[in-house]
Structure 1
Amino acid sequence: MPVVLVVDDSRAQRKLSAMYLRRWGYAVAEAASAPEALEICARENVDMVISDWMMPGMTGVEFCRRYREIPRDIYGYFILVTSKSDKAEVARGLEAGADDFLTKPFSSDELRARLRAGQRIQAMQAELIGKNQMVRETLEELQRLYDGLDRDLIEARKLQNTLLRERFRVFGRARVSMLIRTAGRIGGDMVGCFRLDSRRIALWSVDVSGHGVASAMMTARLAGYLSDGSPEQNIAFTRDQAGQRRIRSPAELAAEFNRLMLDELQVEQYFTLIYADFDEISGDLCFVQAGHPHPLVLRKPGATERIGDGGMPIGLVEGAEYEEVRLKLSPGDRLFLMSDGITECLGANGEELGEEGAEALLRGLLHLGSRDLLDSLVEELARFAGTDRFADDISGLVLDFQPSGSADHEDADARRLS
């Protein structure tokens, strides 16, 4: 039941107004002066006030201003009763916080209409408070969910980082340096390498479509298929009809990945790939390019050469065929594999770096060792973009082909397979 406070130094006017209010179902409080009314408002929850303008000691306008200073859970509706009709006086009342006016003499119907208008406003305010509370509770719940998800993503990033435990590996005359820089907590890029036999190594770079958890999970799945930690699961190897283990060619591997994506995994994602088979003794390189940016050969004299024919991404077209590219690296040459996070990096002017831009950027870094080259590449990209918060994952792999006799040791895989 709404509580209405009637404030008037005229006892007769108070009683008349109170009679009508009780008849209409309101709870009524009465005050003969503004100070008495303020005391009531301080100890009781008053929903609506009907106050005379002209009262001794404190006017209704001053009372309204003081009333608005009292902390309240709900909005109090304030009606000033006056014989004044001057616009400037009405403006004073509004500035003090009055919501409505009654001009003496007023009828009971007019009073009731003004009170109903005030109740509609209070009802809308109560509804708004309820909705705001619901919004706050929803936002708090979303924040708790976000905090939980963020903690999970941090742990997922730690796990994803274990997929590339070593950022530098030595395979006899082949030295491999690798870089992963995710745009978010987790990413869809991955690079890696493993030994195929006593003289050949595999190099690979993948970029799964999309971002977020689904892409990261697919990246982890692909890394499992290209890991020397699980030879039986590694898709680079298969068995011939006699049951003998053999090495798949790069084109065979890409085709098998395409079949696996479409026939078995049946996910909405696809991925781009560079997969290379390198002979560390002869320098022969055979690779397949499936939608990935073109590899670069960084020649010993300081020149760069873009290689590859493009190719269809993995997981888009059933029965897609993939062409192999063959070339020979000379001692001192380097092979660079990169994801489109590098070539599609946006500069401060909004233009993409592009493959030509990436090639030009690398030419300025050829004097550096491969590990320093990768670190400096990220710095140069940040300078180009005007920020180190990249929109896409960045990954790169550099193969150094060392001159004969320069290897001071071979890795454990080479000793086991030789």
Structure 2
Amino acid sequence: MKTGAPAGRSPRRALLACAAGMQGTAAATALRRAGVEVIRAGCGPDAAAQLSQGPPDMVLLDWSLGPPGADALCRLLREEEGPEDYAYVLMLVPAGERAAAQAALAAGADDILAVPFEAVELQARVSAGLRLLDMADRVRASKREVEAALAQLRSAQAAMEADLSEARRLQQGLIGPRRVNLGAVTVSLLLRPAGHVGGDLVGLFPINGHRIATYAVDVCGSGVAAALLAARVAAHLSPGSGENLALRLDEHDLYDARPPVEVARLFNRLMLEEVAGDSYFTMVYVDLDTLSGRGRLVQAGHPHPMLQHPDGRIEVLGRGGLPVGVLPQADWEEVGFVLEPGARLFLGSDGITDAVNPEGVQLGEEGLTAILRTNTFLSGEPLLESLCWSVAQFTRGQGKDDISAVLLEREAPPP
């Protein structure tokens, strides 16, 4: 019964390297009945010449073939074939010669058939070989599809990485300069996402000639979604923006700042009325007079602000408060403080205090206090970089949360 080749595919080709005779004729007949195109070779050199023109799909080698020998031809075929041109090799070996059968398999034959053979047995071996070749074709086709899909995924990943890198650049640009000098007060900002982008946000804007507002925000969640909400919050705290929720016009049409608690209430209303889903964020918002050092702040679920006095003593400010966007009836309290000459106020995200070491121990407020005391001699960006290094050392480089901070420092009087 002829099976033929599937539509759209050329017929299989088989090299029959066998001396003329009854067995060779029977083998050729079995191959043709299976729809295979037969190429005859009557001696070893003829077979080698045929193989040099390109491997066929199937090879039937007579063990008694003259030099260079059936085993040598099989090894040559296996050495030169590539992953896309595997050939099925059936070796015809004399019946009862176990050493020849073992040598044939060692040389790379897929199967052996004892000579003399029955036609039906040869047809079964040929059919099995064709099934193996069909399976190999499907595997190669699947491999090509997988490789093409992987190439597309790599291309998409490269594009995504480029987009995320650009998003990171844009998010870092939201906070503006990392260090701002405002007379006797210097503000330093740190934003270190755990990934390309994150939900932390820090920044500042002027209120008038001697007052500034600064803030630290941490949006619940991570990644792109948190970064988008952080960007929206940033738009409502941008300097010179008509959308800045913290600013208002007074009776003289001059900008003034709303009290910190009112700022928290406005953001809470915005989150509940305009932002869908379960999103919320924590925040510390500070209103500081740079001339007197007097300030007031609101803490909404963010880690406690830490006021380090000129003598090194650290005072923890605030009582915690609810995050913004959780409850409609949420309210907060205003906290007053004085930034004395030589003092500094630190606002840090929970990526610092919640950092965990390999033993499962949190850094906590005690750890942060120790870091601030240890780095009393540092200020500005060097202090913030030293803080990041200390957190990385504590977590053994396994920190998984964004790290952000605001540092306000008032210049000490000359000695």
Partner of 1:218: 229
- Structure 1 residues 239-258: aligned runs within 5 Å: 247-258=257-268
Task: Mark the CA change 1:128 to 1:245 in structure 2 (over 3 Å): closer, same or farther.
Answer: same
Letter in 2 for 1:39: A
Match status 1:16 vs 2:16: no
The answer to whether the aligner puts 1:165 opposite 2:172 as a matched pair is no
Q: 1:49 to 1:394 in 2, by over 3 A?
A: same
What SS does the corresponding residue of 1:69 show, helix, strand or coil?
Answer: helix
**Within-5 A mapping of 1:129-140:** 129-140=140-151
Aligned residue among 214, 219, 223 for 1:203 = 214
Between 1:332-341 and 1:191-200, the stretch displaced more is: 191-200
1:273 paired residue among 257, 275, 283: 283
- Structure 2 Cα separation of the partners of residues 236 and 290 of structure 1: 15
Q: Does 1:94 align with 2:100?
A: no
Aligned residues: 403
Give the match for residue 397 of structure 1: 406
After superposition, the Cα gap between the structure-2 partners of 1:403 and 1:18, relative to the gap in structure 1 and judged at 3 Å, is closer
Aligned to 2:374: 364
Counterpart selection for 1:379 from 379, 384, 389: 389
| 1:42 and 1:70 in contact (8 A); partners too | no
Aligned residue for 1:184? 195
| Distance across 1 between alignment mates of 2:361 and 2:119 | 73
Determine helix, strand or coil for the equivalent of 2:326.
coil
Structure 2 CA distance for partners of 1:88 and 1:309, relative to 1, 3 Å? farther
Cα separation, 2, equivalents of 1:322 and 1:155:
37
Conservation of the 8 A alpha-carbon contact between 2:200 and 2:218: yes
Task: Summarize the alignment of residues 343-354 of structure 1 with structure 2, pairs less than 5 Å apart.
Answer: 343-347=353-357, 349=359, 351-354=361-364
SS at match of 2:288: strand
TM-score, normalised relative to structure 1: 0.87
Cα deviations by residue, 1:259-290 (Å, 9 ceiling, x for unpaired): 21221132553322111222334443322222
Query: Bigger CA drift: 25-34 or 349-358?
Result: 349-358
Residue deviations 1:206-258 (CA, integer Å, cap 9, x gap): 1223333332222222112112131x211102468999965322222112212
Answer yes or no: is 1:193 the counterpart of 2:204. yes
- CA distance 1:398–1:313, change in 2 (3 Å): same
CA contact (8 A) 1:343 1:354 kept: yes
- Out of 52, 57, 64, the residue aligned to residue 47 of structure 1 is 57
CA distance in 1: counterparts of 2:365 and 2:105, whole angstroms: 67
Q: Could you tell me which amino acid in structure 1 is paired with residue 240 of structure 2?
A: G
Which stretch shifts more, 196-205 or 140-149?
196-205
Secondary structure at the counterpart of residue 301 of structure 1:
coil
Displacement of 1:304 after TM fit?
A: 1.7
Deviation at 1:99, TM superposition (A): 0.8
Q: Residue 333 in 1 paired to residue 358 in 2?
A: no
Asked if the contact 2:308/2:315 (under 8 Å) is kept, the reply is yes
Residue 115 of structure 1, aligned match among 115, 126, 131: 126
C-alpha displacement at 1:321, in angstroms?
Answer: 2.3
Give 1:233's match in structure 2, choosing from 243, 246, 252.
243
| Contact residue 298 and residue 333 of structure 2 kept, 8 A | yes
- Can you give the 5+ residue segments of structure 1 that lack an aligned partner in the other structure? 407-418
Could you say what secondary structure the match of 1:46 adopts? Answer: coil
Alpha-carbon contact 2:34-2:127 (below 8 Å) kept: no
Kindly provide the amino acid, as one letter, of the partner of residue 106 in structure 2. Answer: E
Counterpart contact for 2:184–2:291, Cα < 8 Å: yes
Q: Note the C-alpha offset of 1:317.
A: 3.2
Q: Deviation of residue 91 (structure 1)? A: 3.5
User: 2:232, 2:368 → 1: CA distance?
Assistant: 29
Alignment partners' CA distance in 2, 1:62 and 1:17: 21
Residue of structure 2 aligned with 1:34, choices 25, 44, 47: 44
Amino acid at match of 1:110: E
CA contact 2:208–2:256 (8 Å) conserved in 1: no
The CA deviation at 1:349 is 4.8
Normalised to the residue count of structure 2, the TM-score between the two structures is 0.88
Conserved 8 A contact 2:34-2:126: no
Tell me the distance in 2 between the aligned counterparts of 1:268 and 1:91: 71
Q: Which residue of 2 aligns with 1:412?
A: none
Q: Is the 8 A contact 1:255 1:319 kept in 2?
A: no
Equivalent pair of 2:17/2:65 in contact (CA under 8 Å):
no
- 1:284 aligns with 294
Tell me the alpha carbon deviations over residues 334-367 of structure 1, each in whole angstroms, 9 at most, x when there is no partner: 1100112222334355543222212211210012
In the alignment, the residues of structure 2 paired with residue 7 and residue 403 of structure 1 have an alpha-carbon distance, to the nearest angstrom, of: 98
CA distance in 2 between partners of 1:90 and 1:298 (Å): 87
In the alignment, which of 146, 155, 164 is matched to residue 153 of structure 1?
A: 164
* Structure 1 counterpart of 2:134, one-letter code: A
Q: d(CA) in 2 for partners of 1:316 and 1:89?
A: 82
Q: 1:244 to 1:193 in 2, by over 3 A?
A: closer
What do the CA deviations read for 1:172-198 (whole angstroms, capped 9, x no partner)? 443211122233333322211222344
Paired residues of 1:3 and 1:45 also in contact (CA < 8 A):
no
Q: 1:87 to 1:354 in 2, by over 3 A?
A: farther
